[in-house]
Amino acid sequence: MQLPIYFFGDTHFKLQKSSQEDKKIEKFSQFLRTISEENNKGSLFIMGDLFDYYFEYKNKTPEYYKEIFTSLKDIRQKGFDIYFIAGNHDYWIGDHLKSCVEECFLNDTTIEANNKKFYITHGDGILSWDKSYRLLRCILRSKLFIILFSLLPEEIAIKIAKKISHERKDSHYLDQEKINRIHNELDSFAQQKINQGFKYVIMGHYHHSYQKKLNNGELILLGECNEENYNYAVFDGDKLEIKNFF
């Protein structure tokens, strides 16, 4: 994997057009343009939920995220490799998305760079109280469900997606007590992976930034990337840093 490696995710690009979405798309383009100006090669690791909803119909290129794909193709042409790990909002990837990246991962994955091992996960389904969600995830990701969903007319599927997105818009606002509970569980999860020899455990999903050193390793929880700020990590071959792109 080419160095440096940039990790970011949770941009949640939406289907509906708005001034906020225009700003998010412009911020995305600025972010990619800036890192490509600073380096003539490298790797991007998109940590999932790039899209708030994503589904590819057979033999049809999704038009509603055209600008996003154009930006990805541009930085790829400049010498960057792109890797994508599916999130809970954009698991239903297809051939078009796969054609824009080096590799897609539907589940947690691992990489090694300069003798340092990374455990990479979107982050959903880890918590002990996620049992019902883990069951729902198995159903939604099953081949049968995907086939049945693909039979819906695209217009109806998009209406359903917009409604679900609207109902979930406040789901990432957490009080401090719940944040502490989440951090305790993520610490335990990361410690297990570090005990297995991983140096870094990197995830997103929870829409806030958190970093903790655990014995011989480190947990990196990346915040969301929006029209105001990109919270991301970069590994230069020696150390991993958490940064913000305003």
* Confidence class for position 63, pLDDT limits 50, 70, 90: confident
Inform me whether the pLDDT recorded for 167 exceeds 90: no
Instruction: Give me the long-range contacts of 182-185 (CB less than 8 A, separation at least 24).
Output: 182/127, 182/206, 183/210, 183/212, 185/126, 185/127, 185/128
Q: Give the pLDDT confidence score for residue 223 in this predicted structure.
A: 95
First vs last Cα of the chain: how many Å apart? 27
Q: Give the pLDDT confidence score for residue 111 in this predicted structure.
A: 97
Inform me whether the pLDDT recorded for 55 exceeds 80: yes
Average pLDDT over residues 108-114: 96
Inform me whether the pLDDT recorded for 123 exceeds 80: yes
Q: Give the pLDDT confidence score for residue 163 in this predicted structure.
A: 72
* Confidence class for position 169, pLDDT limits 50, 70, 90: low
C-alpha of 164 from chain center: 19
Inform me whether the pLDDT recorded for 212 exceeds 90: yes
Q: Give the pLDDT confidence score for residue 128 in this predicted structure.
A: 93
Q: Give the pLDDT confidence score for residue 171 in this predicted structure.
A: 56
Kindly tell me the burial class for residue 150, based on how many C-beta atoms sit within 10 Å of its own C-beta (0-12, 13-18, 19 or more): middle
pLDDT, averaged across the chain = 91
Tell me which of 68-77, 158-167, 203-212 is least confident: 158-167
Q: Give the pLDDT confidence score for residue 17 in this predicted structure.
A: 85
> What digits encode the pLDDT tens for the residues 124-151?
999 999 999 899 889 988 999 999 988 9
Q: DSSP states of 195-231 as a string?
A: HTT-SEEEE-SSSS-EEEEETTEEEEE---B-SS-EE
